Structure 1
Amino acid sequence: MSDFGHLMIPQYLDTKQLEAFVAVISIGSMTGAAKALGKSQPVVTRLIQELEQELGFLLLHRNGPRIAPTAQGTDFYVQAELFLGGLRTISERARNIASTQARPIEIASIPAIAASIVPQALGRLSADLFPNQVHLQSIASENVVQAVVSRTADVGIASLPVDNSGVEVHWIGEVPCVAIISASDELAKRSVLTPHDLSTRRLIASANPYRLRMRINQAMQEHGIVPQGIIDSNATYVSMSLARAGLGIAVVESATIFGLPITGVSVIPLSFHIPFSWGVITALGRPQPPTVMSLINAIEQSAADMPGFLKQSMG
């Protein structure tokens, strides 16, 4: 039970309180956060206590000098960090307007595309269209959509499903999933892996049950795959590292592999199809400048170079 009782959360929260909380979680201590913010430790402590009072729930577990976020604090941190990032973007754009500089372009993308297609797409932009500054956020799909809707991102790339009335989906791309296995595994020399092969090893797969993992689970059920165990992972490069250590077969999207060097593992096609799909999105009803439209086209051109890429046009 919380000691705060039933409080009315204010319509607007104090940004200084949010900054103090985000700094404490990011750095891991009140002392370090105070130093980073140029404030005294009692001031930082007071700001977070006031924030907790306004929210009506504890953000931190306190055990002497040791602190850790509560479950609610962890959830709140994601939103607070996203909000403060948006404020930083607004401030920078205001400075650019004041100095008549070309404003930066803001890109929010899921990690798979941020590490593979986006860098190549930026490389395709002509010098006259390349902005003075580029901000590239590699974040979860849900946060990509939020960033685009709140207009703190000009272009978003989110894994499917994307179902939000505040965004326009320009096109949808798809690549097949592949298997990643340690180069020392006896299956590493196979030209393709079958459902039976996956049933002989531990499965390493995306943890999010509403996106790629949902398709993996559907394929497992359809093909009768019963792995020897499961390791959930929140990122493809983590899944690849787990597979490299010989902990199982990772079933991952092939987009990340397109952009990163691969060592110590074998990349093997599956004998059955598991699609990984993403959408390129912008805010609905917002006219897009030439730089943004050129980037969207460049993302498509770079994606087309990936093996097995399929594009679905919208409208």
Structure 2
Amino acid sequence: MTKLSFRQVEAFRAVMIAGTTTGAAELLYISQPAVSRLLHDFEAAVKVKLFERHHKRLAPTPEALLLFEEVERSFVGIDRLASMAEELRDFQRGSLKVAAMPAIALGFLPRVMQKFGEAHQGVSQTLQVRSSQQVADWIATQHFDVGIGAINVADPALAVEVLGEAALVCALPASHPLVEKAVIVPEDLRDQPFISLGPEQSVRYKVDEAFEQARVSRQLVFDTQLSHVACSFVDAGAGVALVDPVTALHFPSANLVYRPFEPWVSFSYHLLYPAHRARSRATLEFSELLKRELTVLTENANGLLRLKGVAGTP
């Protein structure tokens, strides 16, 4: 059989709907002779008689009716594709899969994802909370669209972007004498019961170095992987801790007070993307919203969150 063209099939469908070549020409915005020529070529290609000519009208043969059913199924599929493309363009469909470390995910991130969902109600969202290393592994294997972690890894499967760099803050019980100080320094914490982030956290070594350089010893009573858990220990009266400020701002307790700590001990937040996969519009818009919301958080943090690296911050 001679190869069919889409235009021939389109002309056949239009004639079946309109009943005349003139009506089909109006549907397709082409001339009536052009429709007649396409219809003739279509019949010649399929080698089946499709119409009986009765004056100016065309009466479809039983074979034409069967063929029209198949054509309609194909066009419904094309219409569905066009509809889906429109929905994707207008964010009425799609998905966004986010993997994030607890410091961001336990307080700040759900509010950002809720705001994104309100603006793009057709986009389904997934959030998985894991350690920074697990987040990096998941992004590298393309299981998620975007990740937020505290590590900057040199992995060719990852595209890494700095979201922000903040200074650790000191978490104190509200009844602690040091709450009277505006800024906490290592000497203030000499021999204090201290809750430390675990050795799997790279920031742990930065904290230890700050105290070693100041020649200050602490009572290391607990190790924990998460700033959120460190805050819980402080809340329980177990000691003091240095934690990331985003966690501090979202830890719900009136029994804790936070103070800036000097010297600056940085805690970095990074955006991670699969390096070998194009980013969807949903991923790009979510990332921009995340940056804006972090900037707003910085501006409203009353000096607690001193953040560098986010658009709009120093």
Q: List alignment gaps of at least 5 residues for structure 2.
A: 1-83, 299-304
Give the Cα–Cα distance (whole angstroms) in 2 for the partners of residues 126 and 139 of structure 1: 22
Which amino acid is the alignment partner of residue 308 of structure 1? R
Alignment-derived partner of residue 6 in structure 2: none
**Residue 270 of structure 2 corresponds to residue 279 of structure 1:** yes
Q: Does the residue aligned with 1:257 lie in a helix, a strand or coil?
A: helix
Alignment-derived partner of residue 109 in structure 1: 100
CA RMSD of aligned residues (A): 2.3
The one of 258, 270, 288 equivalent to 2:249 is 258
208-217 or 152-161, which moves further after superposition? 208-217
Cα distance change on mapping 1:252 and 1:210 into 2, 3 Å: closer
Contact 2:201-2:225 at 8 Å conserved across structures? no
Q: Report matched runs for 1:286-301 at 5 Å.
A: 286-301=277-292
The one of 166, 169, 173 equivalent to 1:178 is 169
> CA deviation digits over 1:16-40, x for unaligned, max 9?
xxxxxxxxxxxxxxxxxxxxxxxxx
Number of equivalences = 215
Give the Cα–Cα distance (whole angstroms) in 2 for the partners of residues 194 and 172 of structure 1: 27
Q: Does the residue aligned with 2:243 lie in a helix, a strand or coil?
A: strand
Which amino acid is the alignment partner of residue 311 of structure 1? G
- From the CA coordinates, give the structure whose radius of gyration is larger: 2
Q: Does the residue aligned with 2:168 lie in a helix, a strand or coil?
A: strand
Q: Does the residue aligned with 2:103 lie in a helix, a strand or coil?
A: helix
Give the Cα–Cα distance (whole angstroms) in 1 for the partners of residues 132 and 150 of structure 2: 6
Give the Cα–Cα distance (whole angstroms) in 2 for the partners of residues 273 and 267 of structure 1: 15
Contact 1:117-1:299 at 8 Å conserved across structures? no
Give the Å deviation of 1:161: 3.2
Q: Report matched runs for 1:203-242 at 5 Å.
A: 203-242=194-233
Give the Å deviation of 1:132: 3.6
**Residue 301 of structure 2 corresponds to residue 310 of structure 1:** no
Give the Å deviation of 1:124: 4.1
133-142 or 109-118, which moves further after superposition? 109-118
Q: Does the residue aligned with 1:118 lie in a helix, a strand or coil?
A: helix
Give the Å deviation of 1:126: 7.0
Give the Cα–Cα distance (whole angstroms) in 1 for the partners of residues 129 and 143 of structure 2: 14
Alignment-derived partner of residue 156 in structure 1: 147
Which amino acid is the alignment partner of residue 307 of structure 2? F
Alignment-derived partner of residue 20 in structure 1: none
Give the Å deviation of 1:177: 0.5
> CA deviation digits over 1:181-216, x for unaligned, max 9?
111222223222121111130211210345221211
Alignment-derived partner of residue 131 in structure 2: 140
Give the Cα–Cα distance (whole angstroms) in 2 for the partners of residues 187 and 206 of structure 1: 21
Give the Å deviation of 1:128: 5.2
Which amino acid is the alignment partner of residue 178 of structure 2? L
TM-score normalized with structure 2 length: 0.63
Give the Cα–Cα distance (whole angstroms) in 1 for the partners of residues 154 and 284 of structure 2: 22
Alignment-derived partner of residue 37 in structure 1: none
Give the Cα–Cα distance (whole angstroms) in 1 for the partners of residues 119 and 179 of structure 2: 46
Alignment-derived partner of residue 200 in structure 1: 191
Runs of 4+ in 1 over 4 A off after TM superposition: none
Give the Å deviation of 1:166: 0.6
Contact 2:200-2:225 at 8 Å conserved across structures? no
TM-score normalized with structure 1 length: 0.63
Q: Percent identity at matched positions?
A: 21
